[in-house]
Amino acid sequence: TSSAGLALMWEILYVASSTRLPIVMPVVNRALSAPINIHCDHSDSMGARDAGWLQLYSEDGQEAYDNVILALKIAEDKDVLLPAMVCLDGFITSHSVEAVQLLDDRTVRRFIGAYKPAHPLLNVQKPVTVGPLDFFDYYFEHKRQQIEGMENVFKVYKKAANELSKLTNRKYPLFEEYKTKDAEYIIIALNSTCGTAKAVVDEMRKQKKKVGLLKIRLFRPFPKKEIAKAIEKANVVAVLDRSASFGSDGPVFLEVANAIHDMKKKPILAPYLYGLGGREIGMAHIRQVFEELPKVAREKKTPAVKYINLREK
């Protein structure tokens, strides 16, 4: 699904996670109306970020394919039992032609394993009630169980990622650190923009600029301790959001800000909003972001949000 299709099932997103159904749903990220727009931004999945679903983001077609397989393995684990969204950029990724390495069906089945529901609806020997009325005497406890399932994702993710990596020879970290080890300036982003950012990082590295990219793959649950550790030595971190949280900062920015909140020595964050409704973001725009960050470092404070490639006059 995508865009309005996701918005129309808002109530059912919560029902699916609350009844612990390990559904895997690809979300082709597209803008929400109005005005009517069919192109890419992340408003749809970011709007659903607190519905109790795992969220994995995909830079390209290969990652989207791999993430679907990985998500199903994690979602069906008895310590998780939660639905998952596999997000990929509308048109940019969904309608592009590129080479993807596929696993054969038998290998995928062996990796995922047979689905064994904890409470099968068709077992007449053990009848169950699903989704009954749940007042204040038990509702809170059921929500706490969901929280625990989401917290368990990290250990299950790492185990499943290691297993899948052995089959594909591709790595599936919680997030990808691209030339960040000695980086003074880092961009954090999601999905296809990361491919563009990598090209800019490569170009600027040749010019002896210490820049890097942190690409978030798992957004829900958010790996805040690990991300805080990964960016702690940077001077400035630019956080790129492709969705607007009206009346607040961008969703990714808020998560990163929360992650570094308790650090004694932490980087300065710089919020950016870009790409709404499919607005182009190219190498020149990414380069401009990197070039603005030394000024942020000198001023030693988080600036107001900046808009990339926007007509403001």
**CATH 3.40.50.920 fits domain 175-307:** yes
Write out the DSSP string of 285-307: HHHHHHHHHHHHHHHTSPPPPEE
Q: Tell me, what amino acid is at 280?
A: E
Question: Helix 105-112 to helix 153-168 angle, to the nearest 10 degrees?
Answer: 150
Residue 212 near residue 160, CB atoms below 8 Å: no
| Model pTM above 0.95 | yes
Reading the block at residue 126, the tokens are 């053990």
| pLDDT, position 35 | 97
Secondary structure of residue 185 in the 3-state scheme? strand
DSSP 203-225: HHHHTT--EEEEEESEEES--HH
Rounded to whole angstroms, the Cα distance separating 71 from 132 reads: 28
Where the chain has pLDDT below 50, the residues are none
**Greatest Cα-to-Cα distance within the chain, rounded to the nearest angstrom:** 70
**Residue 229 and residue 219 in contact, taking contact as beta carbons nearer than 8 Å:** no
The rounded distance, in Å, linking the Cα atoms of 194 and 51 is 25
Tokens representing 81?
Answer: 């039992």
The DSSP H or E segment spanning 270 is strand 268-273
**Placement of tokens 């650090």 in the chain:** 263
Reported as half-sphere exposure (CB side, CA atoms, 13 A), residue 46 has a value of 25
pLDDT at residue 119, rounded to an integer: 84
Q: Would you tell me which CATH number, out of the four given (3.40.190.10, 2.30.30.790, 3.40.50.970, 3.40.50.2300), belongs to the domain 3-168?
A: 3.40.50.970
Q: Residue 157, CB half-sphere, CA atoms under 13 Å: how many?
A: 27
pLDDT of residue 142: 95
75: which 2 tokens?
A: 């979602």
At residue 266, what are phi and psi to the nearest 5 degrees? -140, 155
Q: Is the dihedral of CA 186, 192, 193, 197 positive or negative?
A: positive
Helix axes 61-75, 105-112, angle to 10 degrees: 40
Same fold for the pair 3-168 and 175-307: yes
Strand 185-189 and strand 211-216: pairing? parallel
pLDDT at 294: 99
Q: How far apart are CA 188 and CA 197, in angstroms?
A: 9
Phi and psi at residue 89, in whole multiples of 5°?
A: -70, 130
Domain map (residue ranges) of the chain: 3-168, 175-307
